[in-house]
Amino acid sequence: MASSPPLPRKNSEYREARYWDERYRHALDAAPYEWFGSYEAFRDLLEPELHPEDRILVLGCGNSALSYELFCGGFPNVLSVDYSPVVVAAMRERYAHVPALRWETMDARALRSPPGTFDVVLEKGTLDALLAGERDPWTVSPEGIQTVDQVLSEVSRVLTPEGRFISLTAAAPHFRVRHYAQPSYGWSLWHASYGSGFHFHFYLMHKGGELSPAQQALGARLRAPPSPLPSPCSLQDSDKEDFLNAIEF
């Protein structure tokens, strides 16, 4: 049985590349680690939004098998990026037998790709990690808001005019929609949940679409003081990553 990956001393370390470098030092010999469910858990939601000819960018790929699962599912044009050069090197070696899959060291906050490069951008847990350590899920710090905006602005920039952004996360709509529902990104927003027991969340943004009035209102409240509401915490017993307790936003 594969050993559990090392946990950080504090949740905020999930935001640091050096933590991931250390975590993935033996990634080549470790089994893939899947945040928020395996490919089968969300296949029925994901695949209808994809086309075989799509140019797909996977942000914060880690050592997940997601990119390989996409290739096996008939979506061969996949570029996977992570800001840990350690895991990028490991993934290149692990999937050297699939030369169509590409792996690059890149920060999601400053992508090197030209505008309009991708038909689909996909992230699974990357934003959650960048927001780990926030003290209050109802009141995200200005730094946290800026970090998410940097990523989403880059996603919007590299998408084609009719591209799709797909986000898989533990963050429920009352925490995450306000980040996605910013008119400056130029997309519509749709949500579904998946999983049994504890539910994870699937967000789909279509470039060229429009936000609903309700979504725009939520987006406008991102920097406003929140209403005092209790913060629910519920996790699957099988999920041992402590930082999930702090990222439902």
The predicted model gives 3-28 an average pLDDT of: 59
Domain count across the chain: 1
* Owning domain of residue 194: 11-223
| Segment 31-73, tens digit of pLDDT | 666 778 889 999 999 999 999 999 999 999 999 999 999 999 9
Residue 247 lies in a domain: no
| Segment 158-177, tens digit of pLDDT | 999 999 999 999 999 999 99
Which CATH number characterizes residue 65's domain?
A: 3.40.50.150
**Beta strand pairing call for 78-82 and 102-105:** parallel
| Higher per-residue pLDDT: 205 or 20 | 205
- Tell me the H-state helices in the chain: 17-23, 39-46, 66-72, 85-94, 126-131, 142-158, 173-180, 213-220
Residue 65 lies in a domain: yes
Residue 189 lies in a domain: yes
**Beta strand pairing call for 56-59 and 102-105:** unpaired
Residue 181 lies in a domain: yes
Residue 28 lies in a domain: yes
| Segment 94-140, tens digit of pLDDT | 999 999 999 999 999 999 999 999 999 999 999 998 888 788 778 89
Residue 249 lies in a domain: no
On the CB side of 231, CA atoms within 13 Å amount to 16
pLDDT for 16 equals 63
pTM for the predicted model, two decimal places:
0.81
Residue 147 lies in a domain: yes
| Segment 221-246, tens digit of pLDDT | 997 765 555 555 444 444 455 444 44
